[in-house]
Structure 1
Amino acid sequence: RPVQQLHLFVKAGPDGESVGDCPFAHSVRMVLEAKGLEYVLSPCAPDGKPQWLVDGYDGKMPCLVHDGEAYTESSHIVDYLNFFFQEPKLAAPMAAAQEATSQFFPALAKYLKNTDESADPDLREALETELTKIDMHLQDLQAQHDTEDLFIAGPTFGISDCALAPKLYHMDVAAKHFKNFQIPTECTALEKYLAKVFAHPAFAKTQYPEDVVLWGWGNARGGV
């Protein structure tokens, strides 16, 4: 039986038609790109979602439709794609990488959403702590593999990179714009990783404009 077409529904950008700023949808698109899978991409504005998506799945996106079934939650979609389309293989997540990265995006979101300047120093410090965790993890990997040319789970590009890179992109663009934030200078391993993962075709071919990132966080900040 022929495999039916993959159809991905994602948040739309400010024009209501182009791809929006959701890093979780970006993660799914990176996996699709890395596996060389063809798919239909449908960005949806809040009032432009298909009725079946609203009625059956509370309008949640990203939503992947394949073989007559719909899947929401980016991690579930990625697991499904990795199981159903096993080649080319992507490096599996590793516990140490997940532990090092799990609190980064919550810390970033709190910092970016904050509009009370008096709270910024503590929130900035919390974000820097999470970035240092990632940097230390990368340093440990470098020592294990005797090379600096690594992805987040080792020498091979994988699932964890697809999850992390879109979030780092948001930090690189939005934290710089709204908070004049820079990665701590001592996080040299993280800086090298950033350059490497941003140059990977799976990221480069699915990247959306910086203005879209700023639009999303501007809304989250209440337009401030």
Structure 2
Amino acid sequence: MADEDAPLPPHANGNGQEENGHVPEIELIIKASTIDGRRKGACLFCQEYFMDLYLLAELKTISLKVTTVDMQKPPPDFRSNFDANPPPILIDNGMAVLENEKIERHIMKNVPGGYNLFVQDKEVATLIENLYSKLKLMLLKKDDVSINSLLSHLRKINSHLEKKDTRFLTGDTMCCFDCELMPRLQHIRVAGKYFMDFQIPTDLRYLWRYMLHMYQLDAFTQSCPADQDIVNHYKQQQNVKMKKHEELETPTFTTSIPMELDIQDE
């Protein structure tokens, strides 16, 4: 296992001491890159919880440590400690929390500040569910029906953002839904472009503005996997072998917006 080398916010990877007392250290174990076995992998849930906890570390309610584990060659202590359960795995005060739903519940109920991240909004919850399944269907089918289904879903999100006219899904403060949606939008953007030359239409102005705001946040950029790792994630699903030269490529990160969209100051 390797400690994640991305810069973490103040009170992350530190002693976790506040003037008024102890700030608990939370460790998040995430899947490593399937290309080099060390950097961040392209697991959506790993990035989602990384973002949740990063936001809390920025607020100094916790100290955050992020560790990557190569699931192709997991170390012996990982197998024995976690019974081969795959990441994400959250460790709080020596207690390991396994399974996504339990991790989410633990952050909400037991991690200081976590409750404020998990807002209740049925409209937004319904709006973003099934988005990822539509990406996977498009990559599998590669037909107009699946493409239009994904586009229709993206247009609904764009319309919601236009109606709200806020920086994020539920307001001007990030919440759990943003930590869930943005990694999926990144996969749509990177994998869709690579496999099908699919691009999020520029007329979805409010969606692009939302993505611009997210690209400016450390919580997203520090948790975001490289483009190559996102692509390789889907190559593995399709049983496509990685080419040798891909291991030597310098990681790239798509975090810009189309030049024709002049929304910098909005």
TM-score in same-fold range (> 0.5): yes
Q: Residues 71 and 86 of structure 2 are in contact (CA less than 8 Å); yes or no, is this contact kept in structure 1?
A: no
The one of 152, 165, 173 equivalent to 2:169 is: 152
Cα distance, 1:53 vs structure 2: 5.2
For each residue in 1:72-107, what CA deviation from the matched residue of structure 2 results, as whole angstroms up to 9, or x when unmatched?
233432332232233384362421111111121110
Tell me if 1:11 matches 2:47: no
Give TM-score scaled by structure 2 length: 0.72
Matched residue, 1:145? none
**CA deviations over 1:149-169 (Å, ceiling 9, x no partner):** 420111211111111111111
- 1:197, 1:203 within 8 Å by CA — same for their partners in 2? yes
**Contact (CA 8 Å) 1:30, 1:206: kept in 2 or not?**
yes
Counterpart Cα distance in 1 of 2:102 and 2:82: 19
Q: Select 1:109's aligned residue among 136, 142, 160.
A: 136
Q: How does 1:172-191 map to 2 (within 5 A)?
A: 172-191=189-208
SS at structure 2 position matched to 1:47: coil
Q: CA RMSD in A?
A: 2.3
Offset of residue 183 of structure 1: 1.3
Give 1:81's aligned amino acid: I
For 2:209 and 2:96, locate their aligned partners in 1 and report how far apart those are by CA, in whole Å.
Answer: 37
Shift in alpha-carbon separation, 1:139–1:3, aligned structure 2, 3 A: closer
Give the paired residue count: 212
- Aligned 1:35-114 pairs, distance under 5 A: 35-36=56-57, 37-48=63-74, 50-52=78-80, 55=83, 58-87=84-113, 89-90=116-117, 92-112=119-139, 114=140
1:46 partner SS:
coil
CA drift at 1:43: 2.2
Are the aligned partners of 1:25 and 1:61 in contact in 2 as well (CA < 8 Å)? Answer: yes
**How far apart, CA to CA, are the structure 2 residues paired with 1:29 and 1:166?**
11
Unaligned runs of 5+ in 2: 1-20, 58-62, 242-266
Residue 128 of structure 1 corresponds to which residue in structure 2?
151
Secondary structure at the aligned position of 2:42 is classed as coil
Contact map agreement 2:29 2:87 (CA 8 A) in 1: yes
Say which SS state the counterpart of residue 35 (structure 1) adopts: helix
Written as runs of structure 1 = structure 2, the 5 A alignment for 1:190-205 is 190-205=207-222
Q: Deviations over 1:177-218 (max 9, x none)?
A: 111111134322111111111222210122221111111111
Q: 1:150, 1:68 → 2: CA distance?
A: 37
Cα distance in 1, alignment partners of residues 180 and 101 from structure 2:
9
2:168 aligned counterpart, secondary structure: coil
Q: Is the 8 A contact 1:175 1:181 kept in 2?
A: yes
- More displaced 10-residue stretch of structure 1: 177-186 or 159-168: 177-186
Deviation for aligned residue 1:4: 5.9
Matches of 1:175 and 1:83, distance apart in 2: 36
User: 1:124, CA displacement in angstroms?
Assistant: 0.5
State how far apart, in whole Å, the 2-side matches of 1:163 and 1:3 are.
26
Point out where structure 1 has 5 or more consecutive residues left out of the alignment: 143-148
Q: Deviations over 1:93-135 (max 9, x none)?
A: 42111111112111011212x1x55xx2111111111111211
CA distance in 2, matches of 1:185, 1:30: 26
Counterpart code for 1:168: L
Instruction: Find the aligned partners of 2:92 and 2:135 in 1 and give their Cα distance.
Output: 33
Which 4+ runs in 1 deviate beyond 4 A?
1-4
Contact 2:27–2:64 at 8 Å: present in 1 too? no
Paired residue secondary structure (2:73):
helix
